[in-house]
Amino acid sequence: MTGNDYRNCSLTPVEFLLTAAAGTLLAYAAGWLFYRSNLAAALMSPLIIAVLRYARRIKGERRRQRLTVQFRDGALSVSAAMTSGYSVENAFRTAAGEMGLLYGDDGIITKEFRQICRKIELNETAEDAVRDLAYRSGCREIQQFADVFAAAKRSSGQIAPVLRDTADWIARRIAVQEEIRTLIAAKRLEQRIMCIMPAGILIYINLGDPGFTDPLYRTAAGRIIMTVCLIVYAAAFLMGEKIMRTEV
């Protein structure tokens, strides 16, 4: 296996520092809001790790989405070239050139298709090169394309129509996914606002009349209540994130 592994995504040094700073701020805010204690804020430090993992996951998902969308165009280009009579090898070379014009030399799919072409030049089979990309991508659409491509090559049948149908299926699937993301964009914003509102109300009360909430911070029963609220708050956030990550 060679090339970028899209299943695992790391943050750049700048992204790491900014995300760690955001996680530190979140940990301190949680400790102050729910316990009004610097010790509690220190005990919330594992939130920094959680925020870093969350940032890596979001970055990885966006990168895989970008790869899938670009692969759709690449697959359509390959199928169009083969329909025009090109061999598999020349179809990938043609598609790599078209992806360079479409996404630039630094485009994800441009680099990947050029790598496939280099592997073919080194006498590696096209299906193995595509299967390697599918394995590294972590994208179901690319994996299914690789399986269909390998099966079509082994059967020695009409590869061009099969690849065209598969590329069309990928394009339709991505179109549905993009439509779903558009439809839930407003709901995602509402979910973000609903997550912020409880903390905003608590901040407002604490700043406006700190004595009003003193029993929640200075008694054992109050600390238990705030702990339960924190758990419910975190569970609601995680549940909302899971619902918003609807997949087709």
- What is the rounded CA–CA span in Å between residue 238 and residue 241? 5
Q: pLDDT band at 30, cuts 50/70/90?
A: confident
Return the percentage of the chain with pLDDT > 90, whole number. Answer: 18
Mean pLDDT of the chain: 85
What was the pLDDT predicted at 89?
A: 85
User: Would you say residue 239 has pLDDT above 90?
Assistant: no
pTM score, two decimals?
0.79
At 99-156, the pLDDT tens digits run 999 999 888 999 999 999 999 888 888 889 999 999 998 888 899 888 888 888 777 6
In the structure, what pLDDT confidence band is assigned to residue 248 with cuts at 50, 70 and 90? Answer: low
- Residue-level pLDDT at 52: 92
For residue 26, the one-letter residue type is: L
Residues 96-108: tens digit of each pLDDT: 999 999 999 888 9
pLDDT of residue 168: 86
Tell me the per-residue pLDDT of 159-195, one tens digit each, with 9 for 90 and over. Answer: 778 888 888 888 888 888 888 888 777 777 888 888 8
186 dihedral zone (left: phi>0; alpha: psi -120 to 50; beta): alpha
- What are 17-26's pLDDT values in tens digits? 999 999 999 8
45 pLDDT more than 90: no
The set of residues, in sequence order, having a beta carbon less than 8 Å from that of 134 and lying 6+ positions away, is: 142, 143, 145, 146, 147
With a CB cutoff of 8 Å and minimum separation 6, the contacts of 179 are: none
Buried b (16+ CB within 10 A) or exposed e, 228-242: eebeebeeeeeebee
